[in-house]
Structure 1
């Protein structure tokens, strides 16, 4: 099964229904994917998810209020991470790896610190640390103003022809699924998530305490020209963490992991298997 064809499953916990999909083998430590600002399960790149699922269990899900999940979307990164932990434990998982993209990368940092027994390794793509540099609203507003056929083209990719070509290919892949497809997020998701991200970056972390408390092996991946969360965030995380590796992809923006999908998956596999 693939991201495009796998049936949606649902997990009910405390009156909230989480929607999720499982891919890959049943044996092994699962990698749980934590999605970006306003992103649903169908905002992931099938080329990345399906390739990861060739060798390990992969779980994608919608957090509270996202897509076909119920509940109210939180307006803090901390509560969003708590909800993710509730989902992971609700599946009965004792140990997981995390791939957090953008907002998801912020959740991964909190989960690694608060639940060291649950989280084995983390991959942080296109994110910022607590107190990091963000230009979320300005970049999103500028992207919409360009009138592109898909806002992710100016939002996730650089203006170069090569990057835009990769962006168009990504959009085509990400819109393939037609059955049980998640609805796009509206203001009820974007507004609290924007508040969460801005609040996370506005609150300085004295002594970089959160990053220094992360003991798990960490792979940090970033685009060289990410306008939403500049690449200095990736470098600062790398310098502060005890056991981190840093990869910057050239001529790439916020969606570097999708532009360099094959290279990214190779890097993930090498890191997770080490």
Structure 2
């Protein structure tokens, strides 16, 4: 699993991880220069993908299934394009192509996401829909994260998250959008999002699904960027079905 902008291992919801881990071997990690990991966070998207590939190979894996969330979804696509032999199936959640005409990051979302420190209210705005049910689910998600005694022992440094911003800009124009390249991805791909993502507009998920040849798209109701933490069992079941499905020749 490749994480989001400013995300660490501590921010994967245990309800989501545990559900998938009941049927699959799940690996989470902090990429180079992020939180608990040493090294330097790179300023180029290609280097984030290269570092992920090095991590996979250091563990002794020749091929893996990859789930990328938000910024991690961009890295996962770049990894699949760079090293297609390493990726069996790809899951892209709450993410997009970097640039899609008419469906790009909102100024308010960027402003909130790049505050020196985020409050719970900031997180609920960015990751959950502004409805009672979604906001309540967001608060339950935050409460689950805090059950671990050592939760958030290490945060993403300003230097590292600014490197993430720089890397994201590599796919942030019409000429550099991942839409120009992802048509060559031949792996089975599952794309999913909430129906109102204020971080990466949901239409970017549609654009990816239209461009990647072997992709399917799921949109969850009354939810936003972190829909999978609002629907951990429902989406966990979809992930397990997708990964367990036999590919047709």
Same fold at TM > 0.5: yes
Tell me what 1:88 maps to.
56
The verdict on how the C-alpha distance between 1:135 and 1:207 changes in structure 2, with shifts beyond 3 A counting, is: closer
Question: Who is 1:177 aligned against?
Answer: 148
Provide Cα deviations, 1:179-238, integer angstroms capped at 9, x if missing partner. 375412231122111122233222524893421110000000011110111011111100
2:203 corresponds to which of 232, 238, 249: 232
* Match of residue 199 from structure 1: 170
Q: Distance in 1 between matches of 2:145 and 2:153?
A: 12
Q: Which runs of no fewer than 5 residues in structure 2 stay unpaired?
A: none
The answer to whether the Cα contact below 8 Å between 1:225 and 1:254 also exists between their aligned partners in 2 is yes
- The alignment's TM-score, normalised by the length of structure 2, stands at 0.90
Question: Which one of 214, 217, 227 corresponds to residue 243 of structure 1?
Answer: 214
Secondary structure (helix, strand or coil) at the match of 2:193 reads strand
State the TM-score, normalized to the length of structure 1: 0.82
Q: Residues of 1 paired with 2:214 and 2:234: CA distance? A: 21
Instruction: Give the distance between the partners of 1:96 and 1:206, measured in 2 at CA.
Output: 25
Name the structure with the higher strand share.
1
Q: Which residue of 1 aligns with 2:179?
A: 208
Contact 1:252 / 1:259 at 8 angstroms: preserved in 2? yes
CA–CA separation in structure 2 for the residues paired with 1:179 and 1:148? 19
Q: Structure 2 CA distance, aligned partners of 1:207 and 1:184?
A: 29
With over 3 angstroms needed to count, the CA separation of the structure-2 counterparts of 1:187 and 1:136, relative to structure 1, is farther
Q: List alignment gaps of at least 5 residues for structure 1.
A: 1-32
Question: How far apart, CA to CA, are the structure 2 residues paired with 1:81 and 1:67?
Answer: 17
> Is the helix fraction higher in 1 or 2?
2
Matched, 1:69 2:37: yes
Please name the residue that 1:118 is paired with.
86
- Is 1:141 matched with 2:111? yes
Question: Equivalents in 2 of 1:56, 1:207: separation in Å?
Answer: 29
Residue in 2 aligned with 1:46? 14
Query: 1:61-86, CA deviations, whole angstroms, 9 ceiling, x for partnerless residues?
Result: 00011111011111222111111111
Task: Please state whether the residue corresponding to 2:54 is helix, strand or coil.
Answer: helix
* Cα distance in 2 for residues equivalent to 1:137 and 1:81: 27
TM-align CA RMSD: 2.1
How far, CA to CA, are the matches of 1:157 and 1:106 in structure 2? 20
Aligned partner of residue 121 in structure 1, secondary structure: strand
Aligned residues: 241
Q: Which has the higher contact order (CA 8 A, sep 6+)?
A: 2
